[in-house]
Structure 1
Amino acid sequence: MSGHDSSSQLRSVLPFEAEPAAVRGLRRVVRKQLVEWSLSALAEEAELVVSELAANVIKHVGRGVAATLVMEAAGDRLRIELHDKSYQVPVLSSVTCDDERGRGLHLLAGMATDWGTLLTATGKSVWCELTAGLETCSRRVRRAEAALMEYRRDAGAPPLLRSRSVQILEESATDLIADLLHWATAQGGDPDGLLDRAQMHFEADTA
């Protein structure tokens, strides 16, 4: 994985090989770059988006293939592009727990302000845009909705009914919280302490 395009202060070009170890490195580089660009508020979302895009390349194009991450910042807007040498365009569609494709795209669509795919001379680019100008609460709400939709797909839940979507997602949120408490217990943690800390973070964000 190599460095950063010096031709523009707010453009970073990072070639890499699509390997799990490289994905971890990309996350670190992304966070460092966004801090330098005074966009650290977007670091968490950007790291997740980059991880999902890179994981899709590994899964659907091939492990070890050449790929390139491009980030461009203008004002409070960050554009992320991941280029690979496959012409196969990803499609956002309804998925179930048995589907191997489309999961990362649903998460991407829930996180990003906008996203899409462009065919290039050597393959394709999957891109998305994140905006730092959104309130923290709004970003958290979008992340939570994306996580809940992914959780429902993993659980094999039926499609949402428009008339009861909020109620159904609340039920899924309850199940997800219960699963997290089981996870904390299995790791030797304190589930009550986890809930207390989550409540403290919520109150701090909404103060």
Structure 2
Amino acid sequence: MVTRVATVAFQGIDAVPVDVQAHIAPGLPALVIVGLGDKAVRESGERVRAALIASGLGLPPKRITINLAPADLPKEGSHYDLPIALALMSAIGAIPQDALDGYLALGELGLDGRLAHVGGILPAAISAHGRGLGIVCPKLSGPEAAWASEDVDIIAADSLLALVNHLTGHQLQGRPAPGKQLLEAGDLPDLMDVRGQAVARRALEVAAAGGHNLLKV
């Protein structure tokens, strides 16, 4: 049986729907991730395996295949960790298979099962709202997701274990309020962190280097 969890891929500032599919079958033990993922996506398997073990869960000694559909769409980043973990948890019965119907998920996993903030939360939340879905994300990302709309159902947890407790009804997480990210002195955003929009970024760099005026439309 195949279990599914919705997430997104980012193309510039657009969040494109992606379907994370997990399949467990007899065979030599292996965890294979397919679907045109970059190095961060391919390494996701080891982070997910360690996070599940740290959360008291274990993967069966079988052949596990993770497919990121559509297969011809490039996938980048570590935010696929959480949907992959949730799809596997659904496949092994750790959470109800219908628990994530109506949600999309994204977040990076630590080896201890904690969830780390990832970029693109706001575009993902806006995409979820447009599709009539809720969003599952790290606790630190919840205040950013809340800016998308008051109507978006947000589950923001700080670890896989807390997320399992919420989805099984043991310890519910409250909806986060919209918040601002406070920057420390000297910790200002840098254009090197921008992914995509290469032409626009180059124009900004040239204007800044030459001291030129810039009109943004």
| TM norm. shorter chain > 0.5 | no
TM-score for both structures, normalised by structure 1: 0.31
- Which protein has the bigger strand share? 2
Q: Which has the higher contact order (CA 8 A, sep 6+)?
A: 2
TM-score for both structures, normalised by structure 2: 0.30
- Which protein has the bigger helix share? 1
